[in-house]
Amino acid sequence: MNDEITTANIQMPNQNTVNIRTLAKKEELAKRIKKPLAEVAEMCSEIWPDQQGIDQLLQHEIGAIPDCSLLYAWNVDGNVISCMILPDRVDESWMGKDLNNRPFLSKHLPYMGIMLSSVYRSDYDGRECITALQAVNRDNELLGFIAADFSVNDLLHDSSLPVSVPQWNQYRGDPAIRGTLFLQERYTSQL
């Protein structure tokens, strides 16, 4: 009897489990990238809106942001003002592109600090991703944003982002209550 393998012991990941893991990974990601992304934004504020300077800075700093697959800057009008910086190359093709229809712009933007988008399919490379937005400010004036894209597939398989998925546990109740539970009866109210 103990040698039998039952399918009840095999847990297949369902959509809810994936969603919980994604949310947990997002929380861990936010903690991990908050400081390096803020530092990049601070450095960019000193040279904003110098496109070549921003490109060089982003190219130099992309490695400082863990798991970042794409890094770029855009202004308060929603236009890309830098090249798309990837870990292994620079792509100029999106320079000046209007990002106002992007999913992360439909929510409130972080006028200070960082914000992570919901999961969406990237127009740039077609992968499901999460975008972290970091506000770039100088003298209390919002200049624009640094956007860092993270592949959801890479995040879900990244073992350096620890995540504890909550498990459902059933605990036994008080025997005095449990013993009388099925002795209860319904009575019709006089009302």
Domain membership flag for residue 39: yes
**Nearest Cα to 48, choosing from 132, 113, 138?**
138
Q: Tell me the mean pLDDT per 10 residues along the chain, length 191.
A: 40 60 81 95 97 98 94 94 96 90 67 83 90 94 94 76 51 59 66 59
Domain membership flag for residue 2: no
- φ, ψ of residue 73 to 5 degrees: the values are -120, 145
Give me the number of domains the chain comprises: 1
- Give tens-digit pLDDT for 77-107: 989 999 999 999 999 999 999 988 876 665 6
Q: Are 36 and 44 in contact (CB under 8 A)?
A: no
Domain membership flag for residue 1: no
- In angstroms, how far is CA 7 from the centroid of its own chain? 33
* Full-model pTM: 0.71
Q: Which pair of tokens denotes residue 142?
A: 């919002």
CATH of residue 103's domain is: 3.30.450.20
Domain that holds residue 27: 13-156
- Give tens-digit pLDDT for 170-183: 555 556 555 665 66
Alpha helices in the chain (DSSP H): 15-47, 51-61, 152-156, 175-181
Cα–Cα distance, 121 to 102 (Å, whole number) = 10
Domain membership flag for residue 183: no
Domain membership flag for residue 40: yes
Domain membership flag for residue 46: yes
